[in-house]
């Protein structure tokens, strides 16, 4: 039995035109911010919608004092916030 293949007529396109990779360096912020804070949708409220962060964008967040360095993906953008999850999402996490 052979492995499935991507059909020839499937539209594929360059990722660089569909999403943006953002960098957030929290050393530039004077308020203490923990990893749990950046996972809360309301943390991102000033950057949701319009020409800012959109669903599918990647956000690299550098914690204060290099306390963490994480890549997030925006899974949902709505008035008042952005839902994020760590990226990449591996199949074992997607199934649970």
Q: What is the pLDDT of residue 13?
A: 76
Residue 56: what pLDDT? 92
What is the per-residue pLDDT for 96? 54
Band (91; pLDDT cuts 50, 70, 90)? confident
In angstroms, the Cα distances linking 79 to 45, 50, 54 are 7, 11, 12
Interval 24-72: pLDDT, tens: 999 999 999 999 999 999 999 999 877 789 999 999 999 999 999 999 9
- The rounded distance, in Å, linking the Cα atoms of 74 and 52 is 11
Give residue 95's pLDDT: 60
The residues spanned by each domain of the chain are 36-85
């Amino acid at each position: 039995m052979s492995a499935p293949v991507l059909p020839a007529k499937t539209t594929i396109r360059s990722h660089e035109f569909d999403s943006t990779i953002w960098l957030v360096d929290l050393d530039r912020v004077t308020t203490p911010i923990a990893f749990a804070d950046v996972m809360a949708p309301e943390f991102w409220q000033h950057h949701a919608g319009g020409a800012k962060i959109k669903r599918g964008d990647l956000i690299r967040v550098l914690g204060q004092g290099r306390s963490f360095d994480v890549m997030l993906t925006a899974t949902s953008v709505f008035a008042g916030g952005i839902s994020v999850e760590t990226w990449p999402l591996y199949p074992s996490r997607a199934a649970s």
